[in-house]
Every structure is written in C-alpha cells, then in structure tokens.
C-alpha cells in the first residue's frame, strides 16, 4: 500500500499494476473449491443463515488489498504470479491456468477498462427508453454479526458500474431469505439514484432491479417510494435464481445460448450459457443451468426481460467472458460485497466499479 500510494500521486498514470510474489498469496489465501458438475438449484439464491460460510473461508489477498486501496486516486490491476510468469506458483496453489492467448486478452482488456475505456456496450435501439440496471446482493461483515447490502449499477450507455453500500438487512423467518426494511430499501435506492444523477447529470426513464431473493412487501414499497421521489416513469422489480427446470433438444449438444421458455408475461427461464452456433460448439465443461426470472412488479414483458439478461451477461470486462452464466448486475453486486466487508470503518469508498474488479 505504501508503494501504491506513492505511485498514485504521480501524474500521467491511469492504472496501477500490483504484482506481489507467490509468498504474499501463500500467507492467507484459501484455495477455492473445485466447481461441481451439477451445482445446486439455489446456487444463485442468497443462502439461509445456517448455510453461511464462516468468515475466514472467504479471506484472500485480492479482496484485502482492494479494500485498502479503495480510496486511491487510481484503480489497481492485481496480477498473480502465474499471470506474470511464475507458472509453478499457480500450479502449487491448485489454480487452473488459462492458455497464454486467453490470459493476455483478459489482462489487457481489464487494463483498458480500468484506464477508462469501454470495450463494448449493450446495443440500444433509438426507440428504447434510457434504462439503469441495478443489482442487489447481501454480504456478512467480517465478524459475521451483521448482514449488509450492496448495489451495483450498470449503465447501458457507457457500460460503467457505480457502487452503493446499503444498510443492514435481516432474514425473513418464513422464506429464510435476506430482506430489507421499507426504510432501508428506500434509502438504498435513493442513494443509488443520487449517485446516478451525480454521474450522468440526469435520471433514466426506466429502472430495472435484479435481486437474488424475492421482493417482499416492505422492499417493494421502499423501492417504489424512492423511484416516485425521482419521478421515474417505469420500475421493474425482477428476482433471479438458478432454475431446476431444463429444456432438452435433439442431438448431443446443450441448449443454444439465449434460448428462453416463457411461462407467462411475468416469468420464464433463459439460458445464459449454452451452445454458440457461431463457434459450432458449447464452450463449457458442465451441463448449463438456465436462469429463472420473475417480474414481481412493473410492466416489461418476460420476453424483453430475457433479452436484457442475455445482454447483461456479456458485460463482465474483467475477464471478457462473453457467455457468463449470470447478469453483470448480480455478479457485480455479489463481488463487491466480498470487498466491502473488508473495508475499514470510516474509509472513503470510490463508487466506480472498476476500483473493485
């Protein structure tokens, strides 16, 4: 951090590249568990209290460093030893290494994004309303005694994400999922929209909220009040989770990416991972699971919501994965929570998502 602060104060720099030796990562990193072939149905759902992992299992150098560097003037790109040349270090930690071409592509695209560039963005038709997409996720404090909320906003015009940290949440005794009180929900979205206004000098015509647990009555009322305060015309509240239903097709390949089955005008499932006709292959190791979505409030059709989810799955600039299984709203909010819980109390937090990746 001392070296980073010295460099961040110099002029003409855009990104700090931090490349610690293998010994640094060995001090505290916990090896990530290998992916399972058939993840549980509720993989995307917020876990119940008894399913929460103990705090030490989630500690790693990346999150700790990002939390300390969150108030620097420049974003940081962390580079592991296996990325910058020490391949054996990565293998010793049990990490699966990418081929050199993929590593180079991901690393330099991330640098470009953190330096202020936008590699690509959502396609927007002229007749479509200006839309702000918001993802809501929950995380526990390091001590494990508080359940907090984080919000990541992704703007289709510029592909930029802004981060807002919310207040405390609690578990509902009926569905055992985390929820916000009406006042906390109102405050969370009000702060998010205020951040949007500071960044864009205007307000969107439409707001879409993605949440990995269902919206209860208090949350709906709080979010709707915040939207009404800013005179937003359209608000869609959409819950998303991994689906237990599967669609089968003839042949040996999984479903085509983007395939959707709509149950009604409010809900359906959509495949964000799957066979890609352009490559004539399924670029994955396991059978893909569809994403289930339910519009709990709003007016947008299920078909349009499914199209948006497919587009939002392409906006993870940190690894350029074009077929991510989650929309960036959900992935970013959850990733941000891993870092926010390590941020010291009272530390100023830079709102741009590029500081968290």
Which has more confidence, 348 or 15?
15
pLDDT given for residue 237 in this prediction = 97
Domain that holds residue 327: 131-355
pLDDT above 60: residue 21: yes
pLDDT given for residue 230 in this prediction = 93
pLDDT above 90: residue 200: no
- Are 27 and 135 part of one and the same domain? no
pTM: 0.84
- Are 153 and 262 part of one and the same domain? yes
Average pLDDT (139-156) is 76
49-79: buried (b, 16+ CB within 10 Å) or exposed (e) per residue? eeeeeeeeebebbbbebbbbbbebebbbbbb
Domain boundary among 56, 85, 114: 114
pLDDT given for residue 336 in this prediction = 86
Q: What is the residue-averaged pLDDT of the chain?
A: 82
- Are 145 and 103 part of one and the same domain? no
Query: Is 123 a member of any domain?
Result: no
- Are 40 and 171 part of one and the same domain? no
pLDDT given for residue 216 in this prediction = 93
- CATH number of 293's domain: 3.30.420.10
Which has more confidence, 209 or 155?
209
pLDDT given for residue 41 in this prediction = 42
- Are 194 and 104 part of one and the same domain? no
Average pLDDT (196-214) is 90
How many whole angstroms separate alpha carbon 222 and alpha carbon 152? 18
Q: How many domains, the chain?
A: 2
pLDDT above 70: residue 92: no
Angstrom CA distances, 179 to 48, 140, 274, 331, 338, stand at 12, 13, 32, 18, 18
- Are 303 and 196 part of one and the same domain? yes
């Amino acid at each position: 951090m001392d070296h980073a602060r010295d460099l961040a104060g110099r002029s003409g720099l855009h990104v700090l590249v931090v490349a610690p030796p293998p010994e640094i990562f060995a001090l505290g990193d916990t090896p990530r568990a290998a992916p399972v072939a058939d993840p549980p149905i509720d993989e995307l759902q917020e876990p119940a209290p008894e399913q929460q992992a103990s705090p030490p299992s989630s500690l790693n150098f990346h999150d700790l460093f990002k939390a300390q560097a969150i108030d620097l003037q420049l974003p940081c790109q962390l580079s592991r030893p296996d990325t910058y040349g020490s391949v054996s270090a990565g293998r010793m930690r049990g990490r699966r290494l990418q081929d050199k071409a993929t590593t180079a592509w991901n690393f330099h695209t991330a640098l470009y994004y953190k330096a202020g560039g936008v590699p690509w963005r959502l396609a927007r038709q002229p007749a479509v309303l200006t839309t702000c997409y918001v993802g809501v996720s929950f995380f526990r404090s390091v001590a494990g005694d508080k359940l907090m909320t984080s919000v990541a906003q992704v703007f289709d015009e510029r592909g930029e994400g802004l981060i807002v940290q919310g207040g405390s949440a609690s578990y509902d005794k009926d569905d055992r999922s985390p929820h916000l009180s009406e006042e906390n929900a109102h405050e969370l979205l009000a702060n998010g929209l205020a951040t949007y206004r500071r960044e864009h000098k205007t307000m969107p015509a439409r707001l879409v909220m993605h949440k990995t647990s269902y919206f209860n009555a208090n949350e709906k009322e709080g979010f709707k009040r915040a939207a009404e305060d800013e005179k937003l015309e359209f608000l869609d509240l959409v819950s998303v989770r991994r689906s237990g239903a599967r669609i089968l097709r003839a042949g040996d390949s999984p479903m085509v990416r983007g395939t959707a089955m709509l149950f009604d005008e409010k809900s359906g499932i959509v495949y964000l991972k799957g066979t890609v006709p352009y490559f004539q292959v399924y670029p994955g190791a396991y059978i893909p699971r569809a994403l289930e979505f339910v519009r709990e409030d709003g007016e947008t059709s299920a078909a349009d919501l499914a199209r948006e989810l497919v587009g939002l799955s392409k906006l993870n600039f940190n690894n350029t994965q074009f077929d991510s299984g989650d929309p960036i709203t959900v992935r970013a909010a959850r990733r941000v929570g891993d870092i926010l819980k390590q941020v010291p109390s009272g530390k100023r937090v830079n709102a741009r998502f590029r500081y968290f990746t």
